[in-house]
Structure 1
Amino acid sequence: MHRLLQRQISRFLNDQGAMPEGLSEFLAAVGDAYESADADRLLIERSLDLMSKELTERNAELRKELAERRHAEAQLEKLLSLLGTTLESTADGILALDKEGRIVRFNQRLVEMWHMPDETLAFWRHAPLVQHLLGQVTNPDAFMENLNYLCLHPEAECYDTFDYIDGRVIERYSLPQPLGVDNVGRVISFRDITARKQAEEALQREKEEQKALIKKLEEAHNQLLQSEKMASIGQLAAGVAHEINNPIGYINSNFNTLGEYVEKLFRVTDAYERTEPALAGESLLDEVRSLKQEADWEYLKQDIRELLRESGEGIGRVKQIVQDLKDFSHVDQVEWQWVDLHKGIDSTLNIVNNEIKYNAEVIKEYGVIPQVECLASQLNQVFMNMLVNASHAIGDGGRGRITIRTGAEDEMVWVEFTDTGKGIPPENLKRIFDPFFTTKPVGKGTGLGLSLSYGIIEKHQGRIEVESEVGKGTTFRLRLPASQGLPETL
């Protein structure tokens, strides 16, 4: 029985007398209950001690985890601050998207680049932000297509450019943003490269201008070389003309005198022939007749006249060739002159006659044209190039035809050279005026003839037109203004 209960009962019994039998049993049962309760209490106390110990240990772990979390949060806050500072300090506009392609962050530079209004920024809603972006580009469909493609292909990289409606050029670059094996979104950077593009375009224009200048310098150099050649030819022609004209002059003079003397001798012999009947029977007459028969006198008189005529024509031909050389080179004319182009063409034909006469027939269909203000020697050079090229196009396989036509339209004069040669393939038509371009075998051409001709005609404010068909022939038409509008002093 519990000790406290036992003392209380003993105190009561001293006062009341002996304890009843039933009460003793009851008290025994109560005692047993108390003892059982003590055992349970001890068990509970031990359990509480264990739980208290576990809670103490768990609290220590929680305090440690909390300290670590606070440290991690502090580090994360520093990292986010560093990232934010980095985003804001970069010169590029930065746009961050989540894995669904929705805008989650952007920096101030992006706001400035895209001119985002305050009302759009205030609510930070995806749709209005995207709509504003699309409104700033010249091709919104392509911009949105690229954005959707990047969202559907998280592993893809992107590097391209696009144009703003205000004329700026923007460079776009994007890489996927991995987290472990997964992509958690995408960061797109935008850089304004307008100044760089403008500098590149300016540099490209400068390069093209330099190329054009180099080409002009080459053409000018080639023309200068050709002009020097022509000047040398002109000087040679002048020297040849001077050297030939002197002997040809006195040969022609003496030849004319010789012709007159021969005619006088023939008149004398004719008079002698009329006296032959008076000498009949004389041996001298027989001797004279024998000599006349031996010399074939009648044929001799006729042939002498023919020889004198042909020799006179030959001397005239030499004189004409010398004059054509002078006219072709115009060594004495270095300034702009009013010239009859037909005369220049005819002189050039005489110069290149040996080049043409074996494989081509020349047909002249001259129209009525005014005199042209030009540098005659240079135009004659163009005519020569056209005729020689036509002859080469016909080749040695047969006899072709070169037709020269002239005419005038308004204030322009045109000269046309048509040949029945092999023609020019279409792929070569655009290159025939390029310096050093030639389809002739090595040693047959330098590729400068048409290039120089083009430069000369351009110098005269004219143009060259070409029509050609393979197997049928080619036509070159030169168009020149009749007047250059130069001051009268020229």
Structure 2
Amino acid sequence: MKIDRKPKGSGIRSGERSLALKALRESEEKMRSIFRAAPIGIGVVVDRVFKDVNQRFCDLTGYTREELINKSARMVYPSEEEYQFVGREKYRQIADRGTGAVETRFRHKDGRVIDVWLSSAPLDISDVSRGVTFTTLDITERKSAEEALLRTVSLLEATLDSTADGILVVDLEGKIKRFNENFKKMWRIPPAILETGEDDRALGFVLDQLKDPEEFLSKVRQLYGKVLAESYDVLEFKDGRVFERFSRPQLLEGTPVGRVWSFRDVTERVKDEEKLRTALGEREVMLREIHHRVKNNIQIISSLLRLQSRYIKDEKALELLDESQNRIRSMALIHEKLYQSQDLSRIDFSDYIAKMITHLFAIYKVGFSRIRHRVDANKIQLDINRAIPCGLIINELITNALKHAFPEDREGELIITMLSLAGDQYELTVKDNGMGLPEGFDPAKKGTLGFQIVNDLVKQLDGLIEVRGDKGTEIVIRF
């Protein structure tokens, strides 16, 4: 009989060991695979000397694995101070809670300095000298973004604090999130109230200062109910101050997250505007009075001339006197129009010409049915410096047409147009279809008193005159 001398159960234990070793190898291979493929730098140090590193750590530092293994970790730090700081901080944390993490900087092989987040844990919590595993995450871009954000925030805060307006920012629930110094000064709200962040408490303090607190409160509630609404208002205080109030939603990528209120102290501006309105009102009254008195004085002169004409027997002298009265009337009409106008600096010339025609047709006893007339000067307005000489020119040219263009009750037409040109220039045309001017007539040469006056007035306007005699008379003046 054959006797099996193997220990009982030894085959089973051998099989178990094989399975355990296989599982261990598989686990180790899996960890190795993770170690190699991890997107963060991983390694092991013993007494701060590299014993193992993965490819990502090599990429992060710029060194090969061979260049790192068995080398001091000091080689990847930009300074001795940084190296010592990380050692003290990391091992202090490990001693306190078993792991350590610190933000630090590495110097890349090419000299660049990068920001990293370094986390460490001992292989054996009871014996750190056996080695420490570490993970390294490149946070350079994040740090740059954070620094850029901090610079932006700093700039915005500096801008906010330097602006002359008072700024208040609240969230959608009405909680105070931000305010600048000018807001605090302008509203004289105690810091203790603002620091609570409770908008209702600040609002209650504000309402006591306003002339119409209910109106202000009503508009505030409306805006809180319409998160996208923008608003402008003027606030009057009991103590005489005046604020402009602007409000608009605070948007984050198009979504409302709060509301921004800005307040501008316009007290001095309002006072200055009131003084200016008063001064302008007084000036307007004075100018109206001046135009009124000038018109009256001119009419007195005209009346004296009319009275004098009763004692003149010479027909030629009487005619000259009547023409002088018409010239005076044209000037008086300018001041009358200015006195009646809303704008004391300019007059409506279309209406002025129409009244001039009515007056002259009556003086020379010309019926509108015999000499038809047309005026085209819509929207033409002249200042007094050009209105008076231009009015006198029109008076002379209409007078000349009525006296000489249509003899022996001849019928005809008189057309007056006035155009606005570029550069604040104008073109005046007086045209009739009467007899026309004598052959060889030259307006530049000394002739009748009327044309001498017209030439002098055109020069006063820095203008040019053109006379056309085909089928009547057409006089064009540009000034």
Under TM normalisation by the shorter chain, which class is it? 0.3 to 0.5
Larger radius of gyration: 1
TM (normalized to structure 2)?
0.41
* Structure with the higher fraction of residues in strand conformation: 2
Greater RCO structure (CA 8 Å; 6+ sep): 1
TM (normalized to structure 1)?
0.40
* Structure with the higher fraction of residues in helix conformation: 1
